[in-house]
Amino acid sequence: MFDKVLIANRGEIAVRVIRACQDLGVRTVAVYSDADRLSPHVLVAGEAIRIGPAPATESYLQADVIIEAAHRTGAQAIHPGYGFMAENAEFARLVEEEGLVFIGPPAAAIAAMGDKTAARRRMIDAGVPVIPGSESLDDVAQAVSAGDRIGWPVLLKAVAGGGGKGMRVIEAAGDLPRALEAARREAGQSFGDPRVYVEKYLLDPRHIEIQVLADSKGCVIHLGERECSIQRRHQKLIEESPSPAVDADLRARMGHVAVAAARAVGYVGAGTVEFLYQDGEFFFLEMNTRIQVEHPVTEFVTGVDLVQEQLRVAAGEPLSVQPNADWPVGHSLECRISGEDPFHGFLPSSGRITSLQVPCGPGVRWDGGIVEHFDVGLHYDPLLGKLIVHAADRDQAILRMRRALRELQIEGVRTTQPFHLAVMDEPDFRAGDISVRYLERHPGLVESGGADWHARAAAVAATLLEHRGRRGGSGISVDVGTLAPAGSQVGMSEWRRRFRPEDLA
Ligand code: MV4
């Protein structure tokens, strides 16, 4: 095992990786920008090195500065987390050239999956079902004949894209001349590669992905699926494992295909094979060559520490786990708690965390990147932390998530917490009837109203109960449980300050 690892990231994932290192007896080096001088990942790491000013392009994306920090501290390996340079094949190559270990797949595997049409070709060769589609398109005529062959509508995608950026739905051939031109320009600007291609547009799919682990000895396993359909503008909001749509037979088939996909690109490490699932059929979408935000739900239902396995295989050790016929054990849900106002278009919210109480108790995990007095800025991804629960089945996991969301109190910034509470009570979600269009179908979930009222009612109830206790008194009886702080936007403590029992005569 490594003696010391540098974590080239920030926030909750940097903390998560540091914890895995500590659990393996590996020393850690954090890197930080000026905005993160007092951030949790800096506070929990063995040592920390400043890498530049707040903007990511001048800090967390500075490959040479980060590699230099590894050399200076004697770290033998670099863990990139997710985002930033996690799927940058050039960075992975540079790290290796510098005599360090990149904790992730070989650069060639990252590059193979980064080019979406090349990835589709390799997947077809490996027997992986892909969505009917085209090669990279040179002109409108090619695009039209591809659409005629595949069937309309089609989805125009960037070859160097992924994650939904720059996609366009094309209803009919007549829309192509303008759309193709615009898409090429946009792809060129976003990815430095103007090439685009089309796929048959699936109207109402689920996003289901398979977690894989591979070691350098040729062992490749899968750890079942995650359902990630509940998202907004390609940002996932809620994930779970298992998927309500997947039974043991489908899991085995998707798992088998995901393992074949990983083998086809010589994969080593933790990776995710994404599929779209519709009408009983599943199709390869893309492969994410990193640890993912939602990895904890898989950890809960398998008992495997995915980050520890990443460290093991990067150090040349074999995987410490074998596929288990009992997986998945129970059910796990994750809610992403981000500093965004769900009732105002998920507008990023900044400010100082004035109060933070994280949930605990049976089956609850909080992976966070904030502490009290921490300043949430607008320089980086708004994810503040993740609330993950595990219970015997999906119904109990939903109840547990509801309980944990009520225990969570973040004051100082607006967060997505009240949105998640609303989803936990929404009948279609409770029935597992979800797809990538879930939010589109439930616009009420992101409409304002209710949240402040709940917080106020809870504060009033709590104040009254306290008052009654003091007087040994009578009168009102309120079940505070049913009025618990429902993701208050103002904050319980603020309401408690404002309300006195004598005002409520
Ligand atoms: C699709 C699709 C329908 N048909 N491809 C969005 C993210 C990117 N990874 C691919 N995405 C999609 N590709 C075809 N041929 C629908 C989506 C899609 C989606 C996929 C996963 C999760 C959420 C999504 C939300 C909207 C659209």
The pLDDT assigned to 488 comes to: 45
What's the chain's average pLDDT? 92
Q: Does domain 132-200 have CATH number 3.30.750.200?
A: no
Helix (H) or strand (E) holding 243: none
Q: Two tokens at 11?
A: 């926030």
Bridge partners of residue 211, in order along the sequence = 272
Minimal-distance CA residue to ligand 1 atom 24: 436
The pLDDT assigned to 477 comes to: 53
- Between these two residues, 488 and 45, which has the higher pLDDT value? 45
Which has the closest alpha carbon to 313: 73, 475, 458, 109?
109
Minimal-distance CA residue to ligand 1 atom 16: 202
Minimal-distance CA residue to ligand 1 atom 11: 164
Where exactly are the structural domains of the chain?
4-103, 132-200, 206-448, 452-504
Collect all residues with Cβ–Cβ distance below 8 Å to 108 and sequence separation of at least 6. 89, 265, 266
**What is the reported pTM?**
0.91
The pLDDT assigned to 390 comes to: 99
The pLDDT assigned to 58 comes to: 98
Minimal-distance CA residue to ligand 1 atom 25: 436
164 lines ligand 1 (CB under 6 A): yes
- Ligand 1 mean position to 38 CA, how many Å? 38
- Between these two residues, 388 and 160, which has the higher pLDDT value? 388
Whether 132-200 shares its CATH topology with 206-448 is answered no
- Ligand 1 mean position to 436 CA, how many Å? 8
Catalytic residues: 290
The pLDDT assigned to 479 comes to: 46
Confidence of residue 502 (pLDDT cuts 50, 70, 90): low
How far from chain centre, in Å, is Cα 328? 20
CB 332 within 8 A of CB 397: yes
Amino acid at 215: D
Q: Is the pLDDT of residue 201 over 70?
A: yes
- Ligand 1 mean position to 207 CA, how many Å? 8
234 lines ligand 1 (CB under 6 A): yes
Minimal-distance CA residue to ligand 1 atom 5: 201
- Ligand 1 mean position to 133 CA, how many Å? 14
Mean pLDDT for the stretch of residues 469-497 = 51
pLDDT tens digits, one per residue of 79-124: 999 999 999 999 999 999 999 999 999 999 999 999 999 999 999 9
163 lines ligand 1 (CB under 6 A): yes
Q: Is the pLDDT of residue 481 over 90?
A: no
Mean pLDDT for the stretch of residues 234-255 = 98
155 lines ligand 1 (CB under 6 A): yes
Minimal-distance CA residue to ligand 1 atom 3: 202
Helix (H) or strand (E) holding 275: strand 269-278
- Ligand 1 mean position to 164 CA, how many Å? 6
The pLDDT assigned to 482 comes to: 43
85 lines ligand 1 (CB under 6 A): no
- Ligand 1 mean position to 203 CA, how many Å? 9
207 lines ligand 1 (CB under 6 A): yes
Minimal-distance CA residue to ligand 1 atom 19: 436
84 lines ligand 1 (CB under 6 A): no
The pLDDT assigned to 162 comes to: 77
The pLDDT assigned to 381 comes to: 97
- Ligand 1 mean position to 429 CA, how many Å? 20
**Fold (topology level) of 4-103:** Rossmann fold (3.40.50)
Which has the closest alpha carbon to 458: 491, 480, 487, 430?
480
Mean pLDDT for the stretch of residues 188-209 = 95
The count of residues in the chain is: 505
Collect all residues with Cβ–Cβ distance below 8 Å to 68 and sequence separation of at least 6. none
- In this structure, the strands spanning 347-348 and 375-376 are unpaired
Q: Does domain 206-448 have CATH number 3.40.50.880?
A: no
Mean pLDDT for the stretch of residues 340-350 = 95
Cα dihedral across residues 333, 382, 310, 86: positive or negative: positive
Cα-based torsion angle of the residue sequence 96, 98, 102, 105 in order, rounded to the nearest 10 degrees: -20
Confidence of residue 165 (pLDDT cuts 50, 70, 90): confident
Query: DSSP letter string over 145-167?
Result: HHHHHH-SSEEEEETT--TTTT-
The pLDDT assigned to 181 comes to: 93
The pLDDT assigned to 164 comes to: 76
* Percent of the residues in the chain that have a pLDDT greater than 70, as a whole number: 89
- Ligand 1 mean position to 351 CA, how many Å? 33
Minimal-distance CA residue to ligand 1 atom 10: 164
Cis peptide before 328 (omega within 30 of 0): yes
- Ligand 1 mean position to 111 CA, how many Å? 21
Atom of ligand 1 nearest to the CA of 203: 3
Candidate of 116, 155, 170, 190 to mutate for ligand 1, largest count of ligand atoms within 8 Å of Cβ: 155
53 lines ligand 1 (CB under 6 A): no
d(CA 159, CA 184): 10
Classify 498 as helix, strand or coil: helix
287 lines ligand 1 (CB under 6 A): no
Candidate of 117, 120, 436, 437 to mutate for ligand 1, largest count of ligand atoms within 8 Å of Cβ: 436
Atom of ligand 1 nearest to the CA of 154: 15
Q: Two tokens at 66?
A: 């980060």
Candidate of 190, 209, 234 to mutate for ligand 1, largest count of ligand atoms within 8 Å of Cβ: 234
Which has the closest alpha carbon to 269: 307, 305, 313, 218?
313
Mean pLDDT for the stretch of residues 169-188 = 94
